[in-house]
Chain A
Amino acid sequence: MVAYKAFFKVISKNLTVLMIYVVVFISLAMALANTYSPAGEASFIDAKVNIVFINYDEETEIVRGLRGYLEKNANIVDISDETEKLQDALFFKEAEYIVKVPKGFSEGILMGETPQLESTAIPTSPSRVYMDNMLNKYMNTVKAYITTMGDISHAELVRLVATDLEEKIPVDLIDSQLELANNQKRAYYFNFMSYSIFAVLILGVCTVMIVFNKPDLKKRNLCTPVKIKHMNLQLVLGNISFALLTWLVMVLPSFILYGGFMFTTKGLLYLVNSLIFTIAALSISYLVGNILKSRNAMSGAANVIALGSSFISGVFVPQEFLGSTVQKIASFTPTYWYVKSNNIISGMESFTAEGLRPVFLNMLVILGFAVAMLSMAMVLIKQRRVSN
């Protein structure tokens, strides 16, 4: 295993450059864990609409009950009943909704009729729908009691309606804001990891392959009694070991940052996805390492391939913000499918076969890239051997 050992000696001589990428990645991951906040609101905050309540009816129990209901669910602002003032109030958004109780409203209800409340609102305002629904809800409840109970006093009707409408169904948000933020952080961590892994693998693998492919050294190695097959096997083993080591170093901070989460199904999916991506990145690096002949071209290749694919695949900018053409181009890189899987995993709450299917399909696509690139590298190596 002399070549295998030499592989790591060559790597260790270039460790400084590789460590820059690792340190930058870990630093960013740490910074992200402490500062990142999600873009959108995730929890519900109850908001009250400013309304004007005008009564043309008498001050009956029903009208008082309606006003009381509205006071609880909206802010009643005091604006006098003058057309110009009411229009100004709507224009300047002092009030978004005006409700007028017509004369004979209470009596009409008790008679079993369906008197209409007049309303005016700012056009296109979402508050209009909200307030309409609120008033309909009140009126429908009143009507339901009149229809079923018939002979009922005003006070009793108002009490029953108020009790009914105060009923609230407790709703627990499964995705709290914190959980959503954590999910996004983890997805971002693993998305960003693709860039670092890609860059480190290209630089590391290329460094070694360029050294071993130097014509003089290659010729010298061919003079030794070590079979070509064994020599190549040692180099392949070296590449695999290096890739696994890089992956371990990159995922290790995730265990420190996210602790127990990494042992959940979601955490495991992230790990499997990143491991499969590492295999694809290794194949591409191996191909590039066999194409490149100088170290000067190496850092250029690392930037173009790792950074370029990360940019167009949604590592730095969410995929939904990327244009369709960009996404089509990105789909020819494993990074795109890797990020896509991470985003799916991030949003998953239950792990059914149906839900996991796209994730596994994406993993297969990434593995397909790995096989294709490795095959290309093999063909290239064989062609060179034949031509020599």
Chain B
Amino acid sequence: MEDKITLSHGSGGHKTSELIAGIFKKNLDNEYFTADDAAVMPAPEGKIAMSTDGFIVSPWKFPGGNIGKLSVCGTVNDIACMGARPLYLTCSYVIEEGFAVSDLEEIAKAMGETARKAGVKIVAGDTKVAGKGQVDGLFITTAGVGVIENEVNLSGAFAKPGDSIIVTGDVGRHGCAILLARDEYGIEADVTSDCAPLADPALAVVSKIPETHVIRDATRGGVGTVLYEICDASDVGIEIVSDDIPVDPAVRGVTGLLGLEPLYLACEGRLVIIVPSEFEDKAIEILSAYEETAGAKIIGRVTDDHKGKVVMKTSIGGMTFLPPPGKELLPRIC
């Protein structure tokens, strides 16, 4: 195979077949993977959850992952947040002419590995090649289907006053890793993206605590944006404790230098979970058993007061609003 992607790789002819066999089938193969027009799988019993997500992250490779891993985690986590076990994914690539075939292979390899780890099968795909300059490197869109195994009913609108708010690990690492990978600020720090598939811990929580009210994936906009969305959707207030929010020291250092709030930096492997307070210890115990969520912490609770606002208890005992989201911190983070 050539070492650069050319327009003919997206033409549907033998070059496309070569790419599918040499890169995609090799890395993503499973019993349903098809080069036919559609994949055919057995239908799961009960309700299904379905989601789709596009990925345009720049740079495509960063400490802790690449766009391929991210594109699997993103859709897997979205499905898991509805209490569904992800089963099947499809993926659609738009590749810039001239993209290195070896890089594409690295991306496909990461997708295969992440899919196997997440227990999900990539069953169909599409490849388009755009002329030089028409896309930046490579864009991926994934779509996925999952099955709701246990009778659960989760939504950002179900938070109740008194509930406990859990974040499943330190916040803002993905956004910070991307920011550093771009090397625009001349800052060096050892920060790895938190990008990870989270279906296993999420489903463990909902199966053992069916009373769980909310599970949300804190991606673009970070944990802060998710908290504000929950405030609005559930018509409640939220109180968090500044000292209880886990932040990696390197992330704190970088955000301190640049004047950014870690709660508003993207995560790609962190959930916000809201459970009635009597289940908070049990939830932490369940999450602690999984590597990706071992750093889970209770960061605050849902209140009846100051509806629609996130209030933060500061390190010196004062109370302040978490400024509402809205500022564009960093484009193209996922």
A joins B in a complex:
no
